[in-house]
Structure 1
Amino acid sequence: MEATQNTKELQDLAISLFREKYQGGAIRQIGISGNQLSDSSVKQLSLFESVQENQTNKKQESLQKAIDEIRETFDFLSIQKASSLSEGSRVIYRNKLIGGHAASQEREEKDVS
């Protein structure tokens, strides 16, 4: 895999690896890690990437940087995919949990008492 910080590419790769390795059954937890990380200011040029692909990648990087800045300034939930707002989506609920547990909610209830 070529080095990338593109969230969509990383998500697609993670899903692809999961589908390749998953053999059925219940899943409790999935972890993803990275190695051989490099400074994002250093870019490896490719002789095989077209000008259009390069421009698209730059736009995607700018978009992702803007999303990261909005989330850092306001809150992770301040910008979400529309599907996160659909009925049955657990994204917002799960995001409010700590480590998958309602620890912060329990603590708030105790503070009120």
Structure 2
Amino acid sequence: MNCPKCHSSRFVKNGHTHYGKQRFRCQVCGRQFVPNPSRQLISQETRDLIDQLLKERLSLAAIARVAEVWERWLQDYVNQKYYLTPKTDHYYAGLPILHPDDNQTFVA
């Protein structure tokens, strides 16, 4: 058994999960892990499906049901995508910029 992050074989017992499985902590990188985890990673196909459903503006609960993922995981995934998306001002492009004049009226 090796650490999933750094592949070191130096680890110590580090308590149990709330399901009762033994947890370990790597002495090299500090990563906590459980050997043979029962949780499965979300496949790229499922992530692509979620991206398409997000474009359709479905509710997160509906997307979680269709994609068979946890709502909490989905919310974290959406938040991560939001923070990684470059921010643009395309909404305001082409609109006139208003400048106040001396009379405190706005002229376009």
TM-score, reference length from structure 1:
0.24
Bigger radius of gyration: 2
Greater share of strand: 2
Q: Whose relative contact order is higher, 1 or 2, with alpha carbons under 8 Å and at least 6 apart?
A: 1
Instruction: Report the TM-score when normalising by structure 2.
Output: 0.25
